[in-house]
Amino acid sequence: MPDLRTQLSKGLFWDVDFEKIDWEKNAPYVVERILSKGTWEDFKIILDYYGKSRIKEIIVKLRYLDKRTLQFCSVYFNIPLNEFRCYNIRQSNRLHWDF
């Protein structure tokens, strides 16, 4: 397995101690952060590290993904929007204005 500490953009994890991230235990946090704020290279690295099936399992359970990231994940992983937890939460919490 590759060492993610040497490959990923450290700036993505500015709010935590980068050296102490447990890549297995904190996989949902890492995947969400890379998908939302990472580069294409970062995405390819976690895809190689976790594998497509594990990332699919993680992303459908996430509580939040921005609209653009959600659409990307839906298309890239071939998952209908209504299978995403974050999509269903967003649909049940209507806002007055959609920014």
Domain boundaries, the chain: 4-78
Least confident of 32-41, 52-61, 74-83, 88-97: 88-97
Computed over every residue of the chain, the mean pLDDT equals: 87
Residue 78, pLDDT above cutoff 70? yes
- What is the reported pLDDT for 95? 60
pTM, rounded to two decimals:
0.82
Token code pair at residue 32:
């969400």
Residue 17, pLDDT above cutoff 80? yes
Can you count the helices (H) and strands (E) in the chain? 6, 0
Residue 92, pLDDT above cutoff 60? no
- What is the reported pLDDT for 33? 93
